[in-house]
Structure 1
Amino acid sequence: MRTSIATVCLSGTLDQKLLAAREAGFDGVEIFEPDLVAAPQSPEAIRARAEQLGLSLDLYQPFRDFEGVGPELLEQNLRRAEAKFTLMNRLGIRTMLLCSNVATARSGDEHLAAAQLRQLGDAAERFDVRIAYEALAWGRFVDGYEAAARIVRLSDHQNVGLCLDSFHILSKGHDPEAIETIPAEKIFFVQMADAPLLSMDVLSWSRHHRLFPGEGGFDLGTFMGHLARTGYDGPVSLEIFNDTFRQSDPFATAIHARRSLRWLEHRTAATLGSAGGGRAARMSTQLLPAVDPPADVNYLELRTPELAELRRLLRELGFRPHGGHRTKAVELWSQGDARIVLGAPDSTRPQPTVAGLGLSVSDPATALRRATELFAPDVPRDEGAGEEPLVGVRAPDGSEVFFGSAGSTEPKWVGEFGTAAPDETPMIDRVDHVNLAQPWQYFDAAVLFFRSVLDLRAEASIDVAAPVGLVRSQVLRSDDGVLRNALNLVPSGASDDAILPQHVAFATSDVLSFARASRARGFEPLDIPGNYYDDLEARFGLEPALMNELRELNVMYDRDGTGEFLHFYTHPVGTVFLEVVERRGAYAGYGALDAPVRLASQYRHRHSAIEGEPA
């Protein structure tokens, strides 16, 4: 699949955008006119720079408000177009994007629009360029691709074709199946964008909320299947208007963008394979290496300067220390099948508190190959003699995901630490889920990373009210629920002392007994206000004895039509806290209604510690 990206997707100068696209492995770029106008280089210099970098210049865009106008304005539009065709010749670009008229059209007559496009095609032919006509979702008269296709067909000009844009088609709810009725030679260009499924005016949705493929709710695999069955094999480009990407590092965003197109290529190949190619698809697509779901969460690595406090907390929750690693400056704590590798932060680079996620997989080498095909940087790991080999990659926020072999009851690497002292019968079974707070510039990239690299399924996102702002939460999970990653978007305006802590949740079969046993060891849970329990009693009408126990132990409660959820939290230790959960029946949620109460309690606790006031 030939890949391209519009310069509007990236921050920085035009030269920085070109360099970022090259380093990410794109084949070509679309030149967005404002980027060219602001550039100090001549069109000839930009053309030479692209050639030096090995990038094709695939599209010049946008040309607006041409068709459906009166004779006088048509003449002005043709003169304006010829000036752009001259510029395109200097740049060496052969295709121009023409957007359907949103402002100056006074007629919706498709025959008139076709006749005017035919005149534009005649002008384009003299300059050896082509016109790719695109139906904008908010076009005044032409807002659907089927109408645009009819106009192109009526224009009957070899230099006039279509640009198909997934956002403009899917945001309006148009069925993309009719794409297969369009001759491949009349599809001049294709632009892809994903988006969250929102209810808002389509122009604002388009200008601020587009996402890279794999991050939103559009069925882009099916869309691409229809496109490939036409025989189209031209560029598949990204055109993403998004406030976050325009403020982020262009080189990181370009890698993120390239990952999205590799994921889209995989989805296209899967669609063509499952639904049949129909007419011979000429687009080259390749599946990613198939990976089985993780067998378990092998370990979690926590990095924090508050080691003494976190050790105390782990002891109070019944974890056993194994001691330090024989060659690395980390230590191991465990209970049941839950293992915490604990160490101090790495001073050489920024690092989140939940610094590593270890997964047991059937084939670590294949898992690594899939990740690297998705442009995830691999993480070298120094291995001493006799140490178990682990392979890993780095996530967008700097955390690491390592793959180890599944199958053994206890991983071999545990023996690289000391031996844990005998302890009471473990009450924790395993890791239930991991909640990773994501800085604003990494959230969407993290969604795509975990969805594509680990083949996780994205659940519907929710917004949770917190004292620091509205927190967006997105859960990605394996189908069997063994791996559940909840990503929380840190509000961009939050101050440094209000950053959301990350947390790890452990599963137990009896959370009330676990809470009592932890209390006996000196544990003090996060305090939950009495108003919460008054509301809980009103909502669910629980038995008085259970209500009293929940209040006493600061255990929270939720239920739905499938089961119940009981859970409690620790106080934050620096930027991490722990949770213990019990799932009864088939309950698969996370106590969403409890989250605002928990966030407010943590905020109150943190600020009372800072200001010296009672919590």
Structure 2
Amino acid sequence: MNPRAFSTLGCPGAGLDEVVRLARTGPCTGIELRCSDDQLVHPELDSDEADRIAGALRRAGLAVPVLASYVQVAADGPDVVEQLARHIALAARLGAGQVRVFGGGAGLPKGRWERAVRHLAAAAPLAAAAGVGIALETHDEFLTGAEVAEVLEAVDSPAVGAVWDAVNPWRAGESPERTADLLGPWLRHVQLKDVASPTDLRPVLPGRGVLPLGDVLGQLRRLGYDGWISLEWERTWYPEAAPLAEVLPAFHRVLDAA
């Protein structure tokens, strides 16, 4: 059985005690920590507080598979590698296995692919030295497995892999089988969710929406993927969505039935 986690994206404003309590309501053994100014961990978190959080999670028997950063590796700026270095150092302090990164949003100037490759290649030795991976998510400018795989092939580092956000390649027209084939060599983490439709991304309970979750999980089995599967419940962006505590049982039912 794959180890299970949830993202703190689903419990905005929650403190450490509440995050631990949520994990204990079901068989989650990991917490995907969203790294943002309004969250439990953020880019300027000092070392003492990072150590306190890491220790509390460790004592609770909880791992941190991913530090979910908002670094845009295709951005056109002088400090992208510096941002990556800071997040890598924080991830190492927290005991996180990976730093999640994005390509970047719409409107980036030309040369997105080249900048992403250059920045990831420059940060890869830093990640390897820290014992932390960098994982590029299927998101925004690199929405599909094909787009992420093209970047990772060029970077060609074992320290740099992929996060498969199950919704994004599918809504872009890429089948789960195709995404699995493309990302298989680099797959480090999987984010599971369900939505109302390919054009209506409001979160719905896993198994109640239109995403072919059974196909996604079947492809992971085919790959022999034994890594983390994390529930990414986007209540931060959709505050009207149900509380995370009400959603976790549906997440576990989908995985148990696979």
For normalisation by structure 2, the TM-score amounts to 0.86
- 8 Å contact kept, 2:6–2:230: yes
Q: How far apart in 2 are the matches of 1:61 and 1:244?
A: 15
- Name the counterpart of 1:78: 81
Instruction: Give the CA deviation at 1:234.
Output: 0.3
Aligned match of 1:263 in 244, 253, 256? Answer: 253
Aligned match of 1:66 in 73, 90, 94? Answer: 73
Q: Which has the higher helix share?
A: 2
- 8 Å contact kept, 1:196–1:210: yes
Instruction: Give the CA deviation at 1:184.
Output: 4.0
**SS of alignment partner, residue 134 of structure 2:** strand
- Name the counterpart of 1:10: 11
Cα deviation code 1:342-364 (max 9, x no counterpart): xxxxxxxxxxxxxxxxxxxxxxx
The alignment status of 1:238 with 2:234, answered yes or no, reads no
Following TM superposition, the consecutive aligned residue runs of length 4 or more in structure 1 with deviations greater than 4 angstroms are: 37-41, 243-250
Instruction: Give the CA deviation at 1:248.
Output: 7.8
**SS of alignment partner, residue 205 of structure 2:** coil
Aligned match of 1:44 in 51, 66, 74? Answer: 51
Instruction: Give the CA deviation at 1:18.
Output: 2.4
For these two proteins, the number of residue pairs brought into alignment is 251
* Structure 2 gap ranges (5+): none
Q: How far apart in 1 are the matches of 2:199 and 2:189?
A: 28
Q: How far apart in 1 are the matches of 2:151 and 2:237?
A: 36
Residue identity matched to 1:53: A
- Name the counterpart of 1:172: 172
Cα deviation code 1:541-589 (max 9, x no counterpart): xxxxxxxxxxxxxxxxxxxxxxxxxxxxxxxxxxxxxxxxxxxxxxxxx
The alignment status of 1:120 with 2:123, answered yes or no, reads yes
Aligned match of 1:98 in 98, 101, 118? Answer: 101
Alignment of 1:391-406 (within 5 A): none
Instruction: Give the CA deviation at 1:3.
Output: 0.5
Instruction: Give the CA deviation at 1:105.
Output: 3.4
Residue identity matched to 2:40: L
Percent of aligned pairs with the same residue? 21
- 8 Å contact kept, 1:164–1:187: yes
Residue identity matched to 1:172: A
**SS of alignment partner, residue 106 of structure 1:** coil
249 and 68 in structure 1: CA distance in 2 versus 1, 3 angstrom threshold? closer
- 8 Å contact kept, 2:99–2:132: yes
- 8 Å contact kept, 2:13–2:40: no
The alignment status of 1:133 with 2:136, answered yes or no, reads yes
Residue identity matched to 2:35: E
Q: How far apart in 2 are the matches of 1:83 and 1:112?
A: 19
**SS of alignment partner, residue 178 of structure 1:** helix
Q: How far apart in 2 are the matches of 1:244 and 1:98?
A: 18
Instruction: Give the CA deviation at 1:175.
Output: 1.5
Residue identity matched to 1:36: L
The alignment status of 1:218 with 2:221, answered yes or no, reads no
Instruction: Give the CA deviation at 1:51.
Output: 1.1
The alignment status of 1:87 with 2:90, answered yes or no, reads yes
Q: How far apart in 2 are the matches of 1:46 and 1:261?
A: 25
Alignment of 1:203-602 (within 5 A): 205=201, 209-242=202-235, 246=239, 253-254=244-245, 256-268=246-258
- Name the counterpart of 1:474: none
Cα deviation code 1:10-60 (max 9, x no counterpart): 254231122211233311010011312479981111111111211111110
Aligned match of 1:30 in 29, 32, 35? Answer: 32
Residue identity matched to 1:169: P
- Name the counterpart of 1:57: 64
Q: How far apart in 1 are the matches of 2:41 and 2:216?
A: 34
Instruction: Give the CA deviation at 1:233.
Output: 0.7
Instruction: Give the CA deviation at 1:145.
Output: 1.9
Residue identity matched to 2:205: F
Using CA pairs below 8 Å that are at least 6 residues apart, which structure has the higher relative contact order? 2
- 8 Å contact kept, 1:30–1:58: yes
- 8 Å contact kept, 2:73–2:115: no
Residue identity matched to 1:3: R
* Structure 1 gap ranges (5+): 269-615
47 and 249 in structure 1: CA distance in 2 versus 1, 3 angstrom threshold? farther
263 and 245 in structure 1: CA distance in 2 versus 1, 3 angstrom threshold? farther
Instruction: Give the CA deviation at 1:239.
Output: 0.8
Residue identity matched to 1:20: L
Instruction: Give the CA deviation at 1:80.
Output: 1.5
Q: How far apart in 2 are the matches of 1:32 and 1:112?
A: 24
- 8 Å contact kept, 1:63–1:98: yes
**SS of alignment partner, residue 128 of structure 2:** helix
Instruction: Give the CA deviation at 1:247.
Output: 6.5
- 8 Å contact kept, 2:9–2:235: no
Q: How far apart in 2 are the matches of 1:167 and 1:198?
A: 8
Q: How far apart in 2 are the matches of 1:50 and 1:267?
A: 28
**SS of alignment partner, residue 174 of structure 1:** coil
Cα deviation code 1:410-429 (max 9, x no counterpart): xxxxxxxxxxxxxxxxxxxx
Instruction: Give the CA deviation at 1:174.
Output: 2.0
247 and 180 in structure 1: CA distance in 2 versus 1, 3 angstrom threshold? closer
Residue identity matched to 2:229: V
- 8 Å contact kept, 1:183–1:230: no
- 8 Å contact kept, 1:180–1:230: yes
Q: How far apart in 2 are the matches of 1:17 and 1:163?
A: 22
264 and 109 in structure 1: CA distance in 2 versus 1, 3 angstrom threshold? same
Q: How far apart in 1 are the matches of 2:23 and 2:68?
A: 17
Instruction: Give the CA deviation at 1:113.
Output: 3.0
Residue identity matched to 2:120: L
- Name the counterpart of 1:404: none
